[in-house]
Amino acid sequence: MSDMTFERMIQQMTPDIYASLKQAVSLRKWPDGRFLTPEQTELCLEAVMRYEVENGVPEEQRVGYLERRTCGADSDGGNVSPELAGLGQDVGRD
């Protein structure tokens, strides 16, 4: 697929098509049950990611988003004691 055609597809993608492609990538299969080939998965994932950036999808709703948290920490990973973070342990001890 040429870059111009791909660009046009991204610009004309509707929210419903975006949701369908995002689900296809997540499940690795099309809505009719056929499995995506590795090439289809790669193209769909690229289309989904480009759509998200160009349409201002919030980061926490984007494909592949991982929340940065540490057990018992604030949402930014702060306020973790050295013991909880594993920093208070001596590496050489059993």
Could you read off the pLDDT of 6-32 as tens digits, one per residue? 888 888 999 999 999 999 999 999 999
Whether the pLDDT of residue 81 is over 60: the answer is yes
Q: What is the CA radius of gyration of the chain?
A: 20
Tokens representing 57 are: 């999808």
CA of residue 47 relative to chain centroid, distance: 12
How far apart are alpha carbons 8 and 33 in whole angstroms? 27
How far apart are alpha carbons 69 and 59 in whole angstroms? 15
- Quote helix, strand, coil % in the chain, to nearest 5: 45, 0, 50
Structural domain boundaries in the chain: 2-57
